[in-house]
Amino acid sequence: MRDFIEKIDHPVIGVYDLDAARTAYSRLGFTVPPTGRHKQWGTANICIMLQHDYLEIRGVADESLHLAGLKEFLEQGEGLMGVVFSTRSADRAYQAGLHAGIEVAEPRSLERAVVLADRTLHLKFRNVMLRVEDVPGLTHSNLCEHVTPQLMRQPGWTTHANGAVAIKSAVGVVSDLDAAKQKYEKLLGADAVAESGSGLHLTPGDAGRIELIDHEEALRRGVARDGRGADYIASLEVGVEDLDAVGRLLEANGVTFTHMETAIAVLPAEACGVALSFGRM
Q: From residue 245, give the alpha-carbon distance in Å to each of 28, 30, 93, 156, 261.
A: 12, 13, 41, 19, 16
Last residue of a domain, one of 128, 151, 174: 151
**157 within domain boundaries:** no
Question: How far does CA 46 lie from the centroid of its chain?
Answer: 12
CATH number of residue 189's parent domain? 3.10.180.10
Number of domains in the chain: 2
pLDDT band at 197 (very low <50, low <70, confident <90, very high): confident
137/179 same-domain check: no
Strands 79-86 and 140-146: parallel
Range of the domain at 12: 2-151
Last residue of a domain, one of 130, 151, 172: 151
Q: What is the pLDDT of residues 102-132, one digit of tens each?
A: 999 999 999 999 999 999 999 999 999 999 9
49/76 same-domain check: yes
21/136 same-domain check: yes
113/186 same-domain check: no
Q: How far apart are CA 225 and CA 256, in angstroms?
A: 19
Q: What is the pLDDT of residues 226-265, one digit of tens each?
A: 889 999 999 999 999 999 999 999 999 999 999 998 999 9
Q: Which amino acid is at 49?
A: M
**156 within domain boundaries:** no
Q: Is the Cβ–Cβ distance between 238 and 167 less than 8 Å?
A: yes
Kindly report the backbone phi and psi dihedral angles of residue 241, in degrees, each rounded to the nearest multiple of 5, phi listed first: -80, -40
pLDDT beyond 80 at 206: no
- The model carries a pTM of 0.97
